[in-house]
C-alpha cells in the first residue's frame, strides 16, 4: 500500500506538471491570437493563418491511465461524490476542448489559406487583363493614326499604367486595399462616366473590373470571418483554461483518503 500511495502521488504530480505545461502554452496561444487579430487588419499581410504551438498538446496526458486518475481524484478523496465526479469530468472535457481547438484551427487555416490564394490569383489575373487592355488600346490608337486627344485612353492609362507603376515604386503594389481605393474605384468612376457610355472599350473593361471588385469584397469578408472565428475560439480556449484550473484546484483542496 505504501508503494501504491507513493506511486499514485508521483503520478498525480506528473499529471499536474502536464497541466502546467498546457497552461503555459494556452497563454502563449491566446497571446498569439491577440497579435493575429492585429496582423490580419493589415492588408499588406497576406498570411491569415493562425500559428498553432506544437507544444499545445494533450497527447502526454491521454497516455496517463485515466482510470488511475479517476481513483486519485474521486475514489481516494473525501467529499461529495457528485462534486468530485463533476470536477473530474470538467477536467477531461477541457482536454477534449483543447484537442477540438487545435483541429478546428488547423482546418480553418487550410480553408482560409485556400480561399485567399484563389482570390489573390483571380485578383492578379484581372489586373493583368487591365494592363493588357491598356496596351491594346494604345496600339489601336496608334494604328488609327488619330491626331485628336483620346480622353478616355489618357485617363485609363494614367490609372492602369502610371498609377500601378507609382504604387510599385512606393512598395504598395501588394496592398489590395490601396490598389482598390487608388485604382479600382477611380477606374469605376471612368466606366460610369456618361460621356464614355458609348465607348466600346467600356465593355472590355467591365468584366475584369467587376471581378476585381468582387475579389476585394470577398477578401475583406474572408479576413473578417477569420478574425471573428479565431477570436471566438480564443475566448473558448481561455474559458477552458479557467475550467481546468478551477476543477484541479478544488480537487487538490480535498483531503486524500486511501481507506
Q: What's the predicted TM-score (pTM) here?
A: 0.84
3-state DSSP assignment of residue 56:
coil
Question: Of 57, 42, 32, 55, which Cα lies nearest the Cα of 234?
Answer: 32
Q: What does the pLDDT look like over 95-129, one tens digit per residue?
A: 999 999 999 999 999 999 999 999 999 999 999 99
Spatial separation of the C-alpha atoms in residues 134 and 174, rounded to whole Å: 21
Which of 149-153, 200-204, 213-217 is the most confident on average? Answer: 213-217
Cell of 176: 489590395
Spatial separation of the C-alpha atoms in residues 47 and 116, rounded to whole Å: 9
Q: What letter does residue 159 receive in the DSSP assignment?
A: I
* pLDDT for the residue 86: 96
State the pLDDT confidence band at 36, using cuts at 50, 70 and 90: very high
Amino acid at each position: 500500500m505504501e508503494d501504491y500511495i507513493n506511486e499514485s502521488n508521483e503520478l498525480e504530480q506528473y499529471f499536474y506538471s502536464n497541466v502546467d505545461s498546457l497552461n503555459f502554452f494556452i497563454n502563449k496561444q491566446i497571446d498569439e491570437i491577440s497579435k493575429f487579430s492585429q496582423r490580419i487588419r493589415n492588408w499588406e499581410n497576406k498570411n491569415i493563418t493562425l500559428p498553432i504551438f506544437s507544444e499545445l498538446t494533450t497527447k502526454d496526458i491521454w497516455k496517463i491511465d485515466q482510470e488511475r486518475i479517476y481513483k486519485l481524484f474521486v475514489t481516494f478523496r473525501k467529499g461529495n461524490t457528485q462534486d468530485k465526479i463533476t470536477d473530474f469530468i470538467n477536467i477531461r472535457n477541457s482536454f477534449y476542448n483543447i484537442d477540438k481547438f487545435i483541429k478546428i484551427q488547423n482546418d480553418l487555416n487550410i480553408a482560409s489559406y485556400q480561399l485567399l490564394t484563389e482570390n489573390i490569383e483571380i485578383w492578379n489575373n484581372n489586373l493583368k487583363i487591365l494592363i493588357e487592355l491598356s496596351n491594346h488600346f494604345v496600339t489601336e490608337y496608334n494604328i488609327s493614326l488619330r491626331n485628336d486627344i483620346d480622353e478616355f485612353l489618357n485617363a485609363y492609362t494614367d490609372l492602369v499604367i502610371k498609377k500601378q507603376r507609382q504604387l510599385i515604386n512606393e512598395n504598395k503594389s501588394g496592398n489590395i486595399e490601396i490598389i482598390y481605393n487608388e485604382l479600382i474605384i477611380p477606374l469605376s468612376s471612368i466606366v460610369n462616366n456618361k460621356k464614355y457610355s458609348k465607348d466600346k472599350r467600356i465593355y472590355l473593361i467591365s468584366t475584369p473590373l467587376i471581378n476585381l471588385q468582387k475579389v476585394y469584397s470577398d477578401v475583406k469578408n474572408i479576413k473578417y470571418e477569420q478574425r471573428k472565428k479565431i477570436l471566438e475560439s480564443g475566448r473558448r480556449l481561455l474559458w477552458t483554461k479557467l475550467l481546468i484550473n478551477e476543477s484541479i484546484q478544488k480537487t487538490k483542496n480535498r483531503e486524500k483518503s486511501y481507506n
